[in-house]
Amino acid sequence: MKQITILSGKGGTGKTTIAAAFTILAKRSVVADCDVDAPDLHMLLHPEILEERGFRGSKMAVIDDGRCIKCGVCREKCPFNAITEDLKVDSFSCEGCGVCTIFCPVNAITLTERISGHVYISRIKYGFMVHALLNPGESNSGKLVTMVRYNAKLLAEREGCNLIIIDGPPGIGCPVVASVTGVDAGLVVTEPTMSGVHDLERALQLLRHFNVKPFVCVNMYDINEDNANKISKFCEENGVEVVGKIPFNPVVTEAMTNGKSVMEYSPESNVSREIASMWDRLCKELSLR
């Protein structure tokens, strides 16, 4: 089984557009939306939910008011300043470490698991999809990504799919790390802007750090061809293959507004053709055909 992650560093470069198009081109695969903070892939692939599972990702300190003697030791000892002046737990600050439970002289504090999100296993026209939603403001999105990927793998094995396509979150922090560990290839989608260039370098470093074979796609390359060329040169010097250069085309937003992947909405557009050629290249690389 092969796994490919689409990532970007910078947000909004077109990860989800490309992930949806790849899913269609792959015909039958498991696609995992690992951008659990802001998942958007379902708006293009319209999953029919088969199963839903609660995600208990984090714990939180809960103070039993009946027992609490208001000594304030918990507030003093909390490493995350998560206990307020009136000795309530600030759920946005509590990281569930449990240090307060050690110090509470009357054992009034317990760590309680909370359902901090949901994982969905769904059917789509082109195979299956595993996606999730972190409850607003919850932490531990890395753990939720791991749960999404675990379910995607089980599903792929059960259904005999030989490919998992992972739509990753932006950034390089914990959910991204969880999205790239152990995959066969990472496609970094960038744009020819100063920010895009800066973030591409960091995303490539991340792939190198985790020993994942990197590929690069320059989206909207014609917004600034100078920068696009700089990216190509940078990649060449670093031995990274640029597998696609996608032109800017408003049809992508139009397709999205119509709830469709550009691959379905306008298969003959220059964008769709370039994504298809990129997919061919990646399939060869991953020996998928």
Partner 1 sequence: MNQSLEIGLCHLGAFRSLDLNLSSEWEAIIVIVAVASGKGGTGKTSLAVNMAISIGNAQLLDCDVEEPNAHIFLNPKITRQEPVYRLVPLVNEELCNYCGKCAAFCQYNAILAVKGKILVFPELCHGCGGCILVCPKNAIGEGRRRIGVIKEGVRDNLSIVWGELEVGEPLAVPIIREVKRHMDRGRDVILDAPPGTSCPVIETVKGSDFCILVTEPTPFGLHDLKIIVEVLDEMGIPHGVVVNRAGIGDRKVYEYCKGKGIPILLEIPYQRRIAELYSRGMPFSLEMPGWTDKFKKLFEDVKRLVGD
Closest to partner 1 by CB, 202 or 284: 202
Closest to partner 1 by CB, 66 or 79: 79
- Cα–Cα distance list, 6 to 11, 18, 93 (Å): 12, 8, 31
Structure token digits, residue 166: 């992972």
Q: Give the nearest distance from C-beta 11 to partner 1 in angstroms.
A: 1
- Is there a contact between 181 and 209 (Cβ–Cβ < 8 Å)? no
Q: Give the nearest distance from C-beta 14 to partner 1 in angstroms.
A: 9
Strands, DSSP E only, in the chain?
2-7, 29-33, 48-63, 109-124, 127-134, 163-167, 185-190, 213-219, 241-246
Structure token digits, residue 76: 């003093």
Q: Give the nearest distance from C-beta 106 to partner 1 in angstroms.
A: 18
Structure token digits, residue 69: 């003697």
Q: Give the nearest distance from C-beta 13 to partner 1 in angstroms.
A: 6
The residue whose two tokens read 């094995």 is 157
Closest to partner 1 by CB, 87 or 174: 174
Q: Give the nearest distance from C-beta 19 to partner 1 in angstroms.
A: 12
The residue whose two tokens read 């009357």 is 106
Q: Give the nearest distance from C-beta 147 to partner 1 in angstroms.
A: 14
Closest to partner 1 by CB, 94 or 121: 94
**DSSP output for 152-203:** HHHHHHHHT--EEEEEPPSSSSHHHHHHHTT-SEEEEEE-SSHHHHHHHHHH
Closest to partner 1 by CB, 54 or 259: 259
- Is there a contact between 240 and 206 (Cβ–Cβ < 8 Å)? no
CA distance 239 to 215: 10
Closest to partner 1 by CB, 3 or 13: 13
Q: Give the nearest distance from C-beta 272 to partner 1 in angstroms.
A: 18
The site for partner 1 (CB under 8 A) is made up of: 8-13, 16, 36-38, 40, 43, 59, 79-80, 92-93, 95-99, 102, 111, 134, 136-142, 169-178, 191-196, 198-199, 202, 205-206, 209-210, 223-224, 227, 250, 253, 256-257, 259
Closest to partner 1 by CB, 101 or 280: 101
**Residues 6 or more apart from 151 whose CB is under 8 A from it?**
53, 119, 121, 130
